[in-house]
Amino acid sequence: MNKHILIADDDPHIRDVISFALEKAGMQVTQAEDGRQALDTFRQQPGDLLVLDINMPELDGLEVCREIRKFSDVPILFLSSRDDEIDRILGLEIGGDDYVTKPFSPRELVARINVILKRTQQHSKPVTEPEHGSSIRYGKLSIQPEQHTASWGGASLSLTATEFAMLQLFARQPTRVFSRDSIMGNAYDGNVYVSDRTIDSHIRHIRQKFADVGCDNVIETVHGVGYKLATCQ
């Protein structure tokens, strides 16, 4: 079944360029010209992924994301004209999965969308026969990959698809130190380049979400090397 993508941008040219690229890749596309229309459209016809411009009339992309996160964990990719907005875009209170800075390559945008959709589909596959040891446990940390759920000390964690992929990577090899390149290659399937700042931003948000449930040191920084799962147990 074709994936349904909702594109929200007040620039009709950008909407048409993205629509053409996604439809060429076999996806179904719906367009919205402002934030309010995007929110109303999604409520009526939820899609598989949203592409939201940050700066839109009526409601901006961040406001739309905040509203959608109240009732849906659909993946969201932001379009931004400023690279230094990354922490706002991927922030805890926002819940974005990725971002692309304008001007952008339509091919790169499609690649990033495919990575997010692939990751989301893998996490949401129904399980008819649970595999032995399919859950990942490390101290108070518990991860159920098939259900795309994670908890610490019984407290549920609300993670984006990218954050979940990173946490699962660390938990599967809890003593290994992962460089940013290895995190990028595993969490992003090696198909898309993201900056070190993007990786660092996701790590900060994972840490904050664990801190909110009482774990103040879930991921340890190994200076000059990368990151590893800490012993917050």
* Interval 23-39: pLDDT, tens: 999 999 999 999 999 99
Residue 140 has pLDDT above 50, yes or no: yes
Residue range 153-204, pLDDT digits in tens = 889 998 887 888 889 989 888 888 888 888 877 776 555 666 777 888 888 8
For position 8, which CATH number holds?
A: 3.40.50.2300
Interhelix angle 161-172/196-211, rounded to 10 degrees, is 80
Nearest to 144 by CA among 157, 135, 133: 135
- Are residues 150 and 210 located together in one domain of the fold? yes
Cα 118 to Cα 140: distance, rounded to the nearest angstrom:
29
Q: In terms of domains, do 118 and 145 share one? A: no
Q: Give Rg (Cα) of the chain.
A: 18
CA dist., res. 34 & res. 53, Å (int): 9
Averaged confidence pLDDT in the chain: 83
In a domain, 188, yes or no: yes
Does residue 48 surpass a pLDDT of 60? yes
Residue 42 has pLDDT above 90, yes or no: yes
Give the Å distances, CA to CA, from 173 to 113, 166, 182, 208, 224: 27, 11, 13, 21, 19
**Domain identity same for 23 and 90:** yes
On whether both 156 and 98 belong to a single domain, the answer is no
Q: Is residue 152 part of a domain?
A: yes
95-132 core/surface letters (b: 16 or more CB in 10 A; e: else): bbbbbbbeebebeebbbbbbbbbebbeebeeeeeeeee
Smallest Cα–Cα separation from 85: which of 54, 60, 113, 110?
54
- Asked if residue 45 and residue 155 are part of one domain, the reply reads no
Asked if residue 130 belongs to a domain, the reply is no
End residue of a domain, out of 102, 124, 146: 124
pTM of the shown model: 0.60
- Res 90: pLDDT: 64
Give the range of the structural domain holding residue 190, as residue numbers without chain letter.
Answer: 136-229
Residue pair 148/124 in contact (Cβ under 8 Å)? The answer is: yes
Domain count, the chain: 2
pLDDT of residue 133: 47
Same domain assignment for residues 110 and 73: yes
pLDDT in tens, 97-139: 888 888 889 998 999 899 888 877 655 443 333 344 478 888 8
Query: What is the CB neighbour count within 10 angstroms for residue 92?
Result: 15
- Please indicate, yes or no, if residue 131 is contained in any of the structural domains: no
